[in-house]
Chain A
Amino acid sequence: MKSLVTEEEISNVAKLMKIDLEDHTAHIKRVQKMLEYFDILDNANVESEEITVQETDLDKLRDDKHNPYDKNLLKFLKSYQGKYVKAPKLN
């Protein structure tokens, strides 16, 4: 079945991703074209396929212990006060 992704749907997703589409039409048309191409997945006949997942053995994980980090990472932030990060206000 051909994709029926509308401009409005794409605009809504962009908003959720906090992206302001200045060049609205050009971006939306290209995204639509890409999604239309993704319709080819409908022909792959994989409905009954199991999704295999990458597993990591628990013994491969790092020990669950605190590793002190001696560098002052806060100085890499643009805006902070004391030990607090400054962020814009939430309405």
Chain B
Amino acid sequence: MDLGISALNYVSSIKNGEFTVEEFTSKSLERISQVDEKLHAFLRVNDLAIKNAREIDTKIKSNQNVGKCYGMPISVKDNMCIEGSKTTCASKVLENFIAPYTSTVISKLNSEDAIIIGKTNMDEFAMGLSTEYSAYGPSRNPWNIDYVPGGSSGGSGVSVSANECIASLGSDTGGSIRNPASFCSVVGLKPTYGLVSRYGLVSYANSIEQIGPMTKTVEDSAFLLNIISGIDSNDNTTIDNKNQDYLRDIDIGVSGKKIGIVTEMTNSEGLSAEVANATNDAVKTFEKLGANCEHVSLQMVPYTVAAYYTITSTEAGSNLARYDNIRYGYEFDSSGFEFNSYISQARSKFGPEVIRRMILGGFVPSAGHAGKYFLKALKVKSKLIAEINHVFEKFDFLISPTVPIQPFKFGEKIQDPVSFMMIDFNTVTANLTGIPAISVPYKITNGLPIGIQIMANHLEEHSLLQTAYALEKTVDLPEVPV
């Protein structure tokens, strides 16, 4: 049994009776127990997975209606709620938080007979890009365990890359799906803002974050997007996509399409030579496939990292205010405490990056500073949206490296906050403007992955996935060494 098969091949194999859901689930759990002590992709594994698998096998055997997932094991980032089980956001503050309701995306997966095999590791409250800020210790890159897997959805990326499950759901506020997808050599899609419901996702910066699939193939991302997208009465930012089928005509190709190579993202100071070479190769590949590629400038891009951190810190400061140990938190008695000191005491359980973001989030929108930071960041965002709208009048897609560098060693970047932030340089544009973007595994250089980012206009996921599929079909990457 090949645990590395795609979601679509898994469904065919189950339908053909090559193995049962229980057999595949058991093998996946075995794989997790073999490799996860080393990789630490999971914070918790679902104890009911085998029971769920047997129930789906029974449905299959008795010719009942079976959901599209046919019991495929899917992992979920630990910031999405499942009723009656822990959702920690990799934080000590929520160490014992039991969710009272289930997020829409999980309900949709459950209704299609997916098996949620476990909750994955992440940077605390999704603030970070390496999982080094998880309160439960980092995940490790299956391509080389001395290197970070990216983040914040690092555990999700690892779980898919290391064949511990078929697919995963991550969340992306500034690249948190695409960055670990690039670092772990899996496909990661950040959908258009509003295409996927955020109901039941623990908020960090709710004006820009999105849930999206992390998968072994582009087709699998289209398959999962078919399930999780669409309007939700519990999230009034959601968009009615009229049940679009993202798998339809996925192999249509890119002939005649216009692709803009974002100058600021392909000439940036921090871009490594290896990543630059891979990007140039990808552009040549698209040209060979019949696309027209030319450089295009987005002049606001150099300011996007500062704008992104200003806006997200402000929203985080507000969203995290609820963790006061009264409504949410861990247990310690309030008697003997004055109100403010009690909450300060409760917040001492936050990790260092969350503390810093909350301080920033209090500072940048405050009276006397808002004009210099927060309002200017909003203006950069507005101007960037105008630039994006303008370039998509001429181009169908934009291309760049997903991340300017390859995976780095633990501790290598974390000491310098500015160079750490700059790793988000190519990914935050899609979040600030709400457009969809995908990372496609493209190359393994020096034993470490490089992903290529493709961006499209709002709600153009269908053509974006077709383009990503065309690129994916030109590459033949080695198997993950773990």
B360 touches A31 (CB 8 A): yes
Which of B184-192, B243-251, B329-337 is the contact stretch?
A: B329-337
Docked complex: A14-57 residues within 8 A CB-CB of B: 14, 16-23, 26-27, 30-31, 33-35, 37-38, 40-44, 46-47, 49-52, 54, 56
Are B100 and A71 touching (Cβ within 8 A)?
A: yes
Could you say which residues of chain A place their CB within 8 Å of the CB of B378? Answer: 51
With A18-B340, A34-B421, A46-B380 known to touch, is A73 a contact of B100 (CB < 8 Å)?
yes
Interface residues of B in 147-170 (CB under 8 A from A): none
**Nearest CB to that of B342 among chain A residues?**
A88
State how many residues of chain B have any CB contact under 8 Å with chain A. 64
Q: Is the CB of B363 within 8 A of A22?
A: no
In contact, A89 and B306 (Cβ under 8 angstroms)? no
Query: When chains A and B are docked, how far (Å) is the Cα of A1 from the Cα of B362?
Result: 21
B338 close to chain A: CB less than 8 A: yes
Could you tell me the dominant secondary structure of chain A's interface residues? loop
Alpha-carbon gap, A50 to B382, bound state (A):
7
Q: A13-B366, A23-B352, A78-B331 are in contact. Are A41 and B418 (CB under 8 A)?
A: no
User: Which residue from A13, A44, A71 sits with its C-beta under 8 Å from B380?
Assistant: A44
Contact for B417 among A5, A33, A73, CB less than 8 A: A33
Q: Which residues of A contact B101 (CB under 8 A)?
A: 71
**Among B236, B340, B364, which residue has its beta carbon within 8 angstroms of that of A38?**
B364
- Asked if B376 is at the interface of the complex by the 8 Å CB criterion, the answer is yes
Cβ A76 vs Cβ B98 within 8 A = yes
A62 close to B (CB within 8 Å): yes
Chain B residues in 8 Å Cβ range of A5: 363
Secondary structure call for the B interface: helix
Taking A17-B321, A52-B385, A79-B334 as known contacts, 4 extra A-B pairs with beta carbons closer than 8 A to each other, sorted by chain A number, are A19-B344, A30-B356, A37-B421, A54-B207
CB-nearest residue of chain B to A23: B352
Q: Which residues of A contact B302 (CB under 8 A)?
A: 40
User: Which of A22, A33, A44 counts the most B-chain CB atoms under 10 A from its CB?
Assistant: A44
23 contacts between A and B (CB under 8 A): A13-B366, A16-B362, A17-B358, A18-B344, A20-B345, A23-B352, A33-B418, A41-B306, A41-B373, A44-B303, A49-B380, A50-B379, A51-B379, A52-B382, A54-B237, A60-B236, A76-B100, A78-B330, A85-B327, A87-B326, A88-B335, A88-B338, A88-B339
Within 8 A of A (CB), among B382-397: 382-383, 385
A10 to B372, CA, bound (A): 16
Q: Which residues of B contact A21 (CB under 8 A)?
A: 355
Contacting pair B359 A20 (CB below 8 A): no
**What residue in chain A is nearest B101 (Cβ atoms)?**
A71
List chain A positions with a Cβ less than 8 A from chain B: 3, 5, 9-10, 13-14, 16-23, 26-27, 30-31, 33-35, 37-38, 40-44, 46-47, 49-52, 54, 56, 60-62, 71, 73, 76-79, 85-91
- In the assembled complex, the Cα of A34 lies from the Cα of B420 at a distance in Å of 10
* Shortest beta-carbon contacts, A-B, top 9: A46-B379, A88-B342, A49-B379, A88-B334, A20-B344, A17-B362, A13-B362, A44-B303, A41-B376
Most buried by A among B321, B376, B421: B376
B359:A46 contact, CB within 8 angstroms: no
A35 vs B236: C-alpha distance in the bound complex, in angstroms?
A: 34
